[in-house]
Amino acid sequence: MTTVLITGASRGIGKASAKLFAEAGWNLLLVARNDKALSALAEELSYTGRSINYKSIDLSNPSDISSNIQCLLDEGDYPSVLINNAGVAWTGELLSMPLESWQWVIQMNLTSIFQVCAAVVPSMRDKGGLIINVSSHASKNAFPQWGAYCTTKAALASFTKCIAEEERLNGIRACTLTIGSVDSTLWDTDTVHSDFDRKAMLSVESAASALLYLAEQPSSQVVEDLTLMPTSGAF
């Protein structure tokens, strides 16, 4: 059986992906802060007959990550695919941004991904594996009021390329899903303020389908980056 580890799995793209992967026959390792939501999701997906293990981990706290990821790995199958989906945003003038908010965005969108990879990838080296990092078209463009988000996503794209090169001889591939605006719970958070038309955005299900497509590529090939945009373009 193939196993996928998904971060940010309790809502949005992560939750939609958990459902789609389970229905496609994958076993699940799920990470999010909300233990109650993870438990409810595992119960909801019990009809699939898949093995579902989960762990409540606060990815904004660097000291919480490594040991808790290892506990999760010890409870279930080691993953052949890792999806780093969890992420945050903060809107406002870049140089007026409080330092603690800057550091929070950097931790969530970049450093936590480094930490999760450091905890998971060694377990993949015997049999090979795939890392999928959920990125954004903000990695390639500059948007006013979204400076920290753009910066972290650009860095994540570079991180993905670097880890792909370093782990190539270990049979581990790495790629990005670069997506435009998705109608997810990101827009409901206290740190994001916008008046975009959410009806014109991509659905979380379409992003999940793209992740499954990347995950199901044969080990002999890799889609290094898949860009998925709403037909309305960039907002």
Amino acid letter at 106?
I
DSSP string for residues in 58-86: -TTSGGGHHHHHHHHHHHSPPPSEEEE--
Domain of residue 138 covers 3-228
Q: How does residue 234 score in pLDDT terms, banded at 50, 70 and 90?
A: low
Min mean pLDDT across 121-125, 166-170, 186-190 is at: 186-190
Q: Which two tokens stand for residue 14?
A: 């992560």
Q: Give the model confidence (pLDDT) of 164-183 as tens digits.
A: 999 999 999 999 999 988 88
* pLDDT in the model for residue 149: 93
Burial of 91: CB neighbours in 10 Å, binned 0-12, 13-18, 19+: middle
Q: Give the model confidence (pLDDT) of 204-216 as tens digits.
A: 999 999 999 999 9
**Three-class DSSP category at 102:** helix
User: Residue 58 maps to which CATH number?
Assistant: 3.40.50.720
Answer whether 15's CB lies under 8 Å from 9's CB.
yes
pLDDT of 235 strictly over 60: no
Q: Which helix (H) or strand (E) holds 54?
A: strand 52-56
Amino acid letter at 89?
A
Torsion of CA 21, 153, 128, 67, to 10 degrees: -80
Tell me the C-alpha distance between 200 and 55, whole Å.
34
pLDDT of 98 strictly over 80: yes
Pairing of strands 172-179, 27-32: unpaired
> What integer best gives the mean pLDDT of the chain?
94
Q: Is residue 64 part of a domain?
A: yes
- Phi then psi for residue 157, to 5 deg, are -60, -40
* pLDDT in the model for residue 188: 73
Q: Is residue 11 part of a domain?
A: yes
Answer whether 215's CB lies under 8 Å from 209's CB.
no
Tell me the C-alpha distance between 70 and 223, whole Å.
28
- Other CB atoms closer than 10 Å to residue 196's CB: what's the count? 13
Q: Is residue 56 part of a domain?
A: yes
Q: Is residue 233 part of a domain?
A: no
Q: How does residue 147 score in pLDDT terms, banded at 50, 70 and 90?
A: very high
* pLDDT in the model for residue 1: 64
Q: Give the model confidence (pLDDT) of 36-91 as tens digits.
A: 999 999 999 999 999 999 999 999 999 999 999 999 999 878 999 999 999 998 88
Total number of domains in the chain: 1
* pLDDT in the model for residue 189: 78
Q: Is residue 234 part of a domain?
A: no
Residue 88 Cα distances to 28, 46, 153, 171, angstroms: 23, 29, 11, 30
Q: How does residue 105 score in pLDDT terms, banded at 50, 70 and 90?
A: very high
CA angle centred on 82, ends 218 and 159, rounded to 5°: 100
